[in-house]
């Protein structure tokens, strides 16, 4: 702990200015929340900190500055760049003469969007090329999962200059009172299966729905599926809705984008968190499910096994019969359910805010002394 305060002291004594840079900042987005929490924690420690972005949510304009107004930086300033896509920032960042740290949040491969959003598909392909072109531009790299670290190494980044630090999560946000109406409406004896995440092809909502369809028809008719998240484009979500209609499947709820307190309410009534995603850089909702003691079943792909790290139930097969049996086992055997929850609680300790902030301070001080 002495090192922690010593690192803060060094940053303040050297009058280091920290500039976080991010393309888009909007509340509720994991990457944005990460930047906002870091900014708040820096300022609370007395460290000079600002966030600059290209796209800023209206409510955040008093706290975040336009990227084009980024001041001239000196060699002792530190940029922390949240990297995930192609943007004009990637051109500018190479020209800025100061210390630079990148936090890599990954980018979804374009192949997932080819059928639904061709323009986004091309954007994602270019994003990977852009990220690769920056592989000599930073003093240090932070990857928020081992999967992301491996991604950077494959793109030519120096493995010796990459540290894995989990996404910085504000646990106080989850201590707010959840929406009572959600709890009253859905805590009705039904088994509630939940997934939280944008409705995009890489998250494979169709596989969640397919598993639920079998579970509801053959195992437990008193069940519902709740899918929280906004949709990018209409084609993919319409295909999902057509599948639901064709199979006369009831009790599938698409909430769209909803207030945070309503999301907390849904976590409170969830019996199972079911994730079938095939591409995640970290997957914050897995940690959220841990916070609310919701047993997790997740497909073994990309960053998911690293985020779970032995907790939850990791599956290699999306077979609806198998998934249904696992759901049924967890919801009907309290001993198994409690064993899963205990492992999730243990894993949750690794995301302690102080522990993660200390890791980031260590990196900043290492870069300062280079």
The list of the chain residues with pLDDT below 70 reads 1-2
Q: Which residues contact 275 (CB under 8 A, 6 or more apart)?
A: 195, 197, 203, 208, 283, 285, 286, 296, 297, 298, 299, 304
- Quick one: which of 350, 343, 297, 296 has its CA closest to 319? 297
Distance CA 343, CA 290 (A): 9
- Answer CATH for 172-350 from 3.40.50.10800, 3.30.70.100, 3.40.50.2000, 3.40.309.10: 3.40.50.2000
Looking up tokens 């190494």, which residue turns up? 153
- CA separation (Å) from 6 to 9, 18, 20, 365? 5, 17, 22, 10
Q: CB within 8 A of 194, min separation 6: which ones?
A: 225, 226, 228, 266, 267, 270, 272, 273, 274, 289, 294
pLDDT the model gives residue 195: 98
CA 76 vs. chain centroid, Å, equals 31
Q: What is the rounded CA–CA span in Å between residue 162 and residue 104?
A: 10
- Please tell me the class of the 2-164 domain: alpha beta
pLDDT value of residue 5: 85
Domain with CATH 3.40.50.2000 in the chain: 2-164, 172-350
Angle between helices 284-291 and 260-269 (to 10 degrees): 60
């Amino acid at each position: 702990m002495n090192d922690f305060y010593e690192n803060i002291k060094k940053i303040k004594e050297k009058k280091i200015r920290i500039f976080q840079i991010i393309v888009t900042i909007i509340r509720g987005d994991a990457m944005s929340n990460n930047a906002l929490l870091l900014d708040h924690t820096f300022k609370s420690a007395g460290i000079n900190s600002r966030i600059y972005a290209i796209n800023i949510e209206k409510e955040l304009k008093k706290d975040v500055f336009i990227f084009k107004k980024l001041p001239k930086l000196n060699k002792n300033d530190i940029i922390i760049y949240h990297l995930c896509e192609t943007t004009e920032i990637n051109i500018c960042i190479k020209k800025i003469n100061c210390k630079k740290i990148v936090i890599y949040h990954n980018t979804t491969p374009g192949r997932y969007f080819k059928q639904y959003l061709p323009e986004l598909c091309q954007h994602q392909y270019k994003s990977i090329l852009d990220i690769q072109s920056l592989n000599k531009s930073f003093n240090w790299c932070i990857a928020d999962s081992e999967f992301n670290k491996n991604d950077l190494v494959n793109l030519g980044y120096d493995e010796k200059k990459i540290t894995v630090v989990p996404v910085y999560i504000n646990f106080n946000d989850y201590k707010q009172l959840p929406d009572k109406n959600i709890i009253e409406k859905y805590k009705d004896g039904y088994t509630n299966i939940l997934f939280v995440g944008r409705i995009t092809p890489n998250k494979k909502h169709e596989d969640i729905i397919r598993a639920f369809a079998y579970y509801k028809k053959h195992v437990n008719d008193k069940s519902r599926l709740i899918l929280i998240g906004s949709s990018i484009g209409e084609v993919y979500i319409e295909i999902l809705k057509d599948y639901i209609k064709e199979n006369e499947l009831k009790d599938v709820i698409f909430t769209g984008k909803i207030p945070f307190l309503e999301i907390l309410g849904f976590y409170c009534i969830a019996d199972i968190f079911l994730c079938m995603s095939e591409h995640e850089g970290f997957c914050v909702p897995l940690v959220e499910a841990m916070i609310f003691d919701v047993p997790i079943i997740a497909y073994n792909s990309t960053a998911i096994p690293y985020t779970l790290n032995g907790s939850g139930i990791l599956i290699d097969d999306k077979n609806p019969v198998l998934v249904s049996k696992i759901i049924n086992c967890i919801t009907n055997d309290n001993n198994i359910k409690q064993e899963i929850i205990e492992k999730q609680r243990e894993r949750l300790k690794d995301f302690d805010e102080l522990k993660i902030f200390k890791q980031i301070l260590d990196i900043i001080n290492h870069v300062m002394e280079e």
